[in-house]
Amino acid sequence: MAEEVQYFVLIISVLLVPKLLLRFRIPTALTEMAMGIAVAFFLGWFNESQTVETLATLGITSLFLFAGFEVNFDELKGNISVLLKQLAKTSLLIALYSFSLYWALELSLRASVLLALGFTTPSTGFILSSLKGFSFTEKQRYWIRTKAISKEVLALIILFFALQSNSGPMLGLSVAAIALIISIVPLLFYFFLKKIAPFAPDSEVTFMILMAFVCGVATKELGTYYLIGAFIVGIVAGQFSHFIATENSEKMLYSIRFFSSIFVPFYFFKSGLKINLEFLDLASLMYGAAFLIIFIPLRYLSLFASIYFFLRDCWGSRYEITTSLMPTLIFGLVIASILRDKLGVAEEIVNGLIIYTIGVSVIPAIFLKSSPPEVFDSSLLRSSTK
């Protein structure tokens, strides 16, 4: 089949089919991954496609731009005591899980830390994008959003240092480069808003997305990952009053979310392309089952304990908050990719992590109450002219 036709089929299928299956409460990300697996196994298309790689990068960077944009430091400061206690507990659990995995699976310490992050870190972008699909109160939405963001910020910091820990000079260079990015990005935003945006209406979203893409690629080249650079850009953008205190702010936020919704499906499709069904053997399935059996109860108990000790007034919402924070899909896939490509971890362990990631990410769709379907006026508007 001609390459142009292959891409035409890809775009139509990836953007349309997952939406159709939402009627049956199948998460779009899982449908997109399944399509990638099927295409790689049966057709062999796009395995080395730079176009799909670029579309996927646009998707993941725009998603983490959106996640960073959602960080509200005023809200975080108002609950700083609670958040610090929860993050301290999370850090201790990650350390405990890391040493347990180091001992049980005979991995390197770096691989063990990353694997622990893959098991425990909620995927903020995935969770935030799916919030409107469930019936939550405003208070539940607030704590789901706050806990997901704070945990992912901690995970990104640990991820950064874990990836650079094998080389002191490289760690120093990476820290300096990240510091440089954090210093320069606000200046670029200031220059853009002062000198360019007034003469280029509605260009702010394009600028943010391009900055997230460039900084994401920069941090990827530093040996970390796209997530960190894009997340930094989102946080910086969210601190400029132009993006949060103008009548166009909601429109800009909607535009970022819309752009992300167009390109994120290609990230999940690309992730599916990398999963080789030939490696999903008995050992992989056993690892996946073991990870699900061990870590689902541990995460539920951990989140219940956090709510009981630190958020007692939310105890009545413990099931909704805990269940909504279970998905690890994006972060889990990122960790799986790093473990496979950078650290050479055994394929059956990586596949086991992917099975676990998919398993926990369908939990909200199964157990949470969906929002009522939107009502659209499907009547035919008839007009007549005289």
Instruction: Choose from 75-84, 127-136, 271-280, 313-322 the range with maximum mean pLDDT.
Output: 313-322
Q: Which amino acid is at 103?
A: W
Instruction: Give me the pLDDT at residue 245, please.
Output: 62
Instruction: Find all residues with CB under 8 Å of 141, minimum gap 6, and list them.
Output: 131
What is the per-residue pLDDT across 348-375, written as a single tens digit (0 to 9) for each? Answer: 999 999 999 999 998 988 888 777 777 7
Give the confidence band of 301 by pLDDT, cuts at 50, 70, 90. Answer: very high
Tell me the average pLDDT across 116-120: 93
Angle made by CA atoms 54, 57, 58, in degrees to the nearest 5: 90
What is the per-residue pLDDT across 369-385, written as a single tens digit (0 to 9) for each? 777 777 776 676 655 45
Task: Indicate whether 310 belongs to any domain.
Answer: yes
Domain presence at residue 54: no
Q: Which residue's structure tokens are 């219940």?
A: 304
Q: In this predicted structure, what is the pLDDT of residue 386?
A: 47
Among 131-135, 196-200, 275-279, the range of highest mean pLDDT: 196-200
Retrieve residue 173's tokens. Answer: 């260079």
**% of the chain exceeding 90 in pLDDT:** 20
> Residue 193 pLDDT more than 90?
no
Helix (H, G, I), strand (E, B) or coil at 370: strand
Whose structure tokens read 């199948």?
Answer: 26
Q: Is residue 26 part of a domain?
A: no
Min mean pLDDT across 118-132, 177-191, 316-330 is at: 118-132
Say if CB 356 and CB 292 are below 8 A apart.
Answer: yes
Summarised one tens digit per residue, pLDDT across range 162-172 is 877 676 777 78
Q: What span, in angstroms and rounded, lies between the C-alpha atoms of 338 and 200?
A: 39
Q: Could you read off the pLDDT of 44-63 as tens digits, one per residue?
A: 888 888 889 899 888 888 88
CATH at 94: 1.20.1530.20
- Is position 379 within any domain? no
Average pLDDT, the chain: 84
CA 347 to chain centroid, in Å, comes to: 23
Choose among 63, 122, 50: nearest CA to 265: 63
Q: Cα(329)–Cα(272) distance, rounded to whole angstroms?
A: 12
Inside any domain, residue 46: no
| pTM, rounded to two decimals | 0.83
Residue at token pair 């939550």: 136
Determine, yes or no, domain membership for 138. Answer: yes
3-state DSSP assignment of residue 292 = helix
* pLDDT value of position 157: 85
Mean pLDDT calculated for residue range 101-112: 91
pLDDT of 147 higher than 60:
yes
Nearest to 208 by CA among 187, 178, 234: 234
**Domain range holding 261?**
61-367
Counting the structural domains of the chain, the total is: 1
Say which amino acid occupies 350: V
Q: Identify whether 376 is part of a domain.
A: no
Residue 49 lies in a domain: no
- How many CA atoms are closer than 13 Å to the CA of 159, on its beta-carbon side? 28
Looking at the chain, list the stretches that DSSP marks H as alpha helix, in order from N- to C-terminal side: 3-21, 28-38, 50-69, 73-78, 80-105, 109-120, 124-130, 138-164, 168-191, 204-221, 226-238, 241-244, 249-273, 282-310, 318-324, 329-341, 347-361, 363-367
